[in-house]
């Protein structure tokens, strides 16, 4: 699309907006451009919207290309322009600028093309004051290790070395580089090929440039909020210069208008919740951190403590954290790692036996529920799956079905944001829809992620010789048995299982009745 075409499209949809002034922006219809079509990006928002009776306008299904995201920028631009009047817009900027999350790491776009796409987004979002835009981008992740499939190819070999180099660069900028660190940095610079160092630096600079341009929109007309989600291991501990640069761009803007947010995959639901709450009373949340170790935990994939992450995400969602549970509309229980270190849910230490801390946490949750307080659970003791011991303790007390919301998948930041947003929104959900969402999260993040997936992945990427279709049938059988044996409080629930990206890491669970309509 040429610049002239962008101007023409803007003129066309401006003409169509002459009657908008008489309409109040509300959360009954929302335009949503997701980061991609993974369940975290797409399904979490659609489930909540259905439970709340909110209409969602999505790009056509044909636009999505799995890991490629939405590669047709011109088509996406024209679609968004044509739906600008349908309500507030939540836009994943990476889908607009690069095609999606994976494409933001692997794209071959030059700066001129990225700038052209940014200008299209800027012009469209700020052309009118209403309905407003809510925008989020990402900062390129810093993987400790990678297969090079969902990252730039050089990460397959050099991710650990580049991660170490980033840490040493920050230490140097703080004047904290020891002689041993200096020797390590010299070895890394001699070991990593110059071509890899150049590409790594170029991609990080492109990502930072895009993040700063997006954050600078926070004061523009028509922009309600701009956030930069921090992908895996993106932390001020290791990328101090990038964080300093973004802080300069944000200046004194409050976090409710512009923020650097721990985590990415929860951003869709978090911002959907923000828009929904515009027309509803401000919610108060009491955060409860039982068994928090003296040393503030720093989860594996995050550079923020759970408390820091929650405070930032509460501001983005638009809720107030309170210190007295009596004042709260919701209690958010955060199940932290016992020793301050998160491990994978597939770890042998994640046993299905409740320890004294699990029993104590379950007891605390029961007390809150008995006092009439809704409880959401952010289960962050393990990464990428539930805490088996705590789940068993909750099951024994028949508390699982009484939770307002649950999240225990992916990273700690994702789980905190999803549990927070889901718990707050549950107040307005119909009971059957809330129970379905809760059942699906427990089946996915406890049944699949913490128990079934580790057993399957030990046999290879797709369970030995099984095709994806055969594997889906096998996984469905195992999850059905799991639901009937440990999720019996939910009754008999029909569901379907699929692998949306053809990999074991994420699974899509949908209602069988819904899928058969």
What one-character DSSP code corresponds to residue 263? B
Q: What is the largest CA-CA distance in the chain?
A: 67
> For 376-435, how does the pLDDT look when each residue is reduced to its tens digit (9 = 90+)?
999 999 999 999 999 999 999 999 999 999 999 899 999 999 999 999 999 999 999 999
Using N-to-C axis directions, what is the helix angle for 267-277 and 306-317, rounded to 10°?
Answer: 40
Does residue 464 have a pLDDT over 50? no
Query: 311 in helix, strand or coil?
Result: helix
Is the bond into 302 cis (omega within 30 degrees of 0)? no
Average pLDDT, the chain: 88
Backbone angles phi, psi at 274, to 5 degrees: -60, -50
Q: pTM of the entire structure?
A: 0.91
The CATH number of the structural domain formed by 3-143+205-277 is: 3.40.50
Alpha-carbon span 208 to 197, nearest angstrom: 16
> For 361-377, how does the pLDDT look when each residue is reduced to its tens digit (9 = 90+)?
999 999 999 999 999 99
Lowest mean pLDDT among 77-81, 357-361, 493-497, 513-517: 513-517
CATH for 284-461 (3.30.1490, 2.60.40, 3.40.50, 3.40.600): 3.40.50
Q: Region 174-196: what's the mean pLDDT?
A: 90
Domain residue limits, the chain:
3-143+205-277, 155-198, 284-461
Alpha-carbon span 345 to 57, nearest angstrom: 35
> For 115-167, how does the pLDDT look when each residue is reduced to its tens digit (9 = 90+)?
999 999 999 998 888 889 999 999 998 888 887 778 888 888 999 999 999 88
> Which neighbouring-strand residues pair with 136?
92, 227
- Most confident option among 1-5, 66-70, 441-445: 441-445
> Which neighbouring-strand residues pair with 496?
510
What one-character DSSP code corresponds to residue 350? -
Of the candidates 269, 284, 271, which has an alpha carbon nearest to the alpha carbon of residue 224? 271
Two tokens, residue 172: 């140097």
Alpha-carbon span 163 to 166, nearest angstrom: 5
pLDDT of residue 352: 94
> For 432-451, how does the pLDDT look when each residue is reduced to its tens digit (9 = 90+)?
999 999 999 999 999 999 99
> For 241-270, how does the pLDDT look when each residue is reduced to its tens digit (9 = 90+)?
899 999 999 999 999 999 999 999 999 999
Q: Do domains 3-143+205-277 and 284-461 have the same CATH topology?
A: yes
Alpha-carbon span 420 to 404, nearest angstrom: 10
Percent of residues, the chain, with pLDDT higher than 70: 91
Pairwise pLDDT comparison (301 vs 334), residue with the higher score:
334
> Which neighbouring-strand residues pair with 133?
89, 223
> Which neighbouring-strand residues pair with 405?
376
> Which neighbouring-strand residues pair with 377?
333, 406
> What is the chain's Cα-based Rg?
23
- Reading phi first (left if > 0) and then psi (alpha if -120 to 50, else beta), residue 77 is in alpha
pLDDT of residue 450: 95
Q: Quick one: pLDDT band at residue 469, thresholds 50, 70, 90? A: confident
């Amino acid at each position: 699309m040429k610049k002239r075409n962008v101007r023409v499209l803007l003129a066309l949809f401006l003409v169509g907006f002459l009657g908008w002034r008489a309409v109040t922006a509300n959360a009954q219809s929302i335009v949503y451009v997701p980061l991609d079509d993974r369940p975290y990006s797409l399904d979490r928002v659609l489930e909540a919207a259905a439970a709340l009776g909110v209409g969602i306008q999505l790009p056509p299904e044909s636009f999505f290309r799995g890991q490629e995201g939405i590669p047709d920028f011109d088509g996406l631009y024209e679609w968004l322009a044509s739906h600008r009047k349908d309500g507030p817009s939540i836009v994943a900027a990476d889908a607009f600028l690069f095609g999606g999350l994976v494409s933001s790491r692997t794209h071959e776009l030059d700066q001129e093309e990225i700038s052209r796409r940014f200008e299209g987004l800027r012009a469209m979002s700020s052309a009118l004051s209403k309905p407003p835009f809510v925008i989020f981008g990402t900062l390129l992740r810093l993987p400790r290790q990678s297969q090079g499939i969902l990252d730039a190819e050089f990460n397959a070999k050099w991710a650990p070395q580049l991660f170490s180099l980033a840490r040493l660069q920050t230490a140097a900028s703080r004047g904290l580089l020891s002689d041993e660190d200096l020797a390590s940095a010299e070895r890394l610079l001699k070991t990593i090929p110059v071509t890899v160092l150049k590409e790594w630096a170029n991609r990080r600079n492109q990502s930072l440039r895009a993040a700063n341009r997006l954050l600078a929109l926070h004061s523009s007309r028509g922009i309600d909020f701009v956030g930069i989600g921090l992908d895996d291991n993106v932390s001020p501990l290791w990328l101090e210069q990038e964080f300093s640069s973004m802080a300069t761009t944000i200046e004194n803007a409050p976090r409710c208008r512009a923020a650097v947010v721990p985590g990415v995959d929860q951003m869709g639901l978090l911002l959907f919740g923000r828009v929904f709450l515009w027309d509803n009373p401000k919610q108060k949340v009491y955060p409860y951190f039982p068994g928090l170790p003296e040393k503030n935990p720093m989860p594996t994939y995050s550079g923020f403590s759970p408390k820091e992450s929650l405070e930032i995400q509460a501001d983005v969602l638009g809720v107030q954290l309170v210190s007295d549970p009596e004042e709260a509309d919701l209690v958010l229980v955060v199940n932290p790692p016992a020793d301050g270190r998160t491990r994978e849910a597939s770890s042998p230490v994640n046993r299905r036996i409740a320890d004294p801390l699990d029993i104590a946490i379950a007891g605390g949750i029961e007390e809150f529920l008995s006092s009439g307080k809704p409880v959401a659970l952010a289960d962050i003791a393990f990464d990428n799956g539930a805490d088996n011991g705590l789940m068993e303790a909750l099951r024994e007390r028949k508390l699982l079905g009484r939770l307002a919301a649950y999240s225990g998948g992916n990273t700690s930041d994702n789980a905190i944001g999803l549990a927070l947003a889901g718990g707050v929104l549950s107040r307005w959900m119909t009971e059957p829809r809330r129970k379905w969402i809760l059942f699906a999260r427990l089946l996915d993040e406890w049944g699949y992620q913490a128990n079934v997936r580790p057993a399957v992945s030990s046999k290879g990427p797709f369970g030995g010789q099984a095709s994806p279709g055969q594997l889906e049938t096998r996984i469905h059988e195992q999850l059905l048995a799991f639901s009937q044996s440990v999720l019996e409080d939910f009754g008999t629930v029909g569901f379907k299982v699929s692998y949306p990206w053809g990999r074991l890491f994420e699974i899509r669970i949908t209602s069988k009745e819904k899928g058969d309509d």
